[in-house]
Amino acid sequence: MKNCLKLTFDSGQTALAIRVDQQTELPNALERIGLGGSRSVLVVVGGASNISEAEFRRIQRLFTEVLAPIAETLGAYVVDGGTDAGVMQLMGEARTQIGAKFALIGVTPESKVALPNQQEPAADLTPLEPNHTHFILVPGDNWGNESPWISQVATVLANNAPSLTVLLNGGEITFEDAFSSVNTGRLVIVIAGSGRTADILADALRGQASDERAKKLAKSGKLEYIDLIDIEKGVANLGKIIKNLLST
């Protein structure tokens, strides 16, 4: 395990980061960047691609009106993939928009991201999301290598407190994320109507699956879905469910 890094973004926002090589280092590493104790954890996985403007706005509301406020009210940790894209960007922006103080932790393969302090990062690197408070930089040369790490970071942070994964939209890697959560016994709430992987999984839960991975996940007993179509009711419902699950 390496030293802590202080990252300063162009916006002036700062975050603490730490590199880890093995999952056994996580308890110590998280403690070193001030993330100790035991508290409820919300994991957010998926994407925000190939959706209409209306669906995007609906998903955006989900972050600013449900996910970020619940994390703030409960003092929960929120864990995601940390890059400046999709649901991770939405989570970061929602946190800042509501003036929240909860810790937002991005878990990402170091070789795939541009750290803000780097002089001239390679063109193919992805920027980190600047509203996150902490980053765990993990080994791996491919996107998806971070999936088991996201799940493990959440488990260590929760330290026997309740944790929950919310899955929206997403592509191939989102299946990995879902399996990683399910394999650690974490309930995954799928947002039906958010597109792509989320809708494939929701179909599987309705018994309409054609995808073998989706069938397997649906059979795990660790998957539930909530429909985003009726936004007013959907937002209220989701808020209630998540709050109850994370407060138990």
Q: What is the pLDDT of residues 165-224, one digit of tens each?
A: 999 999 999 999 999 999 999 999 999 989 999 999 999 999 997 899 999 999 999 999
pLDDT at 76 over 90: yes
pLDDT of 151 over the 70 cut: yes
Q: Quick one: tokens of 229?
A: 């179509």
d(CA 119, CA 125): 13
Q: Which amino acid is at 127?
A: P
- DSSP letter for 125, please: P
Query: For residue 79, what are the β-bridge partners?
Result: 43, 105
DSSP state of 124: T
Prediction pTM value: 0.94
> Nearest to residue 214, comparing CAs of 172, 242, 153?
172
Give the list of residues 6+ apart from residue 118 with CB closer than 8 angstroms, or none. none
**What mean pLDDT comes out for the span 137-152?**
95
Scan for tokens 């993990």, then name that residue.
138
Average pLDDT over residues 70-87: 94
Residue 1 pLDDT level (bands cut at 50, 70, 90): low
Of the ranges 5-9, 63-67, 104-108, 188-192, the best mean pLDDT one: 104-108
- Does the pLDDT at position 231 exceed 60? no
The confidence score (pLDDT) of residue 227 equals: 85
Per-residue pLDDT tens over the stretch 167-181: 999 999 999 999 999
Task: Quote the CA–CA distance of 77 and 85 in Å, as a whole number.
Answer: 20
Spatial separation of the C-alpha atoms in residues 66 and 210, rounded to whole Å: 31
Question: Span 4-22+41-247: which CATH code?
Answer: 3.40.50.450
**pLDDT-wise least confident of 43-47, 50-54, 86-90, 116-120:** 116-120
How does strand 4-8 pair with strand 126-127? Answer: unpaired
Residue pointed to by tokens 């003036």:
99
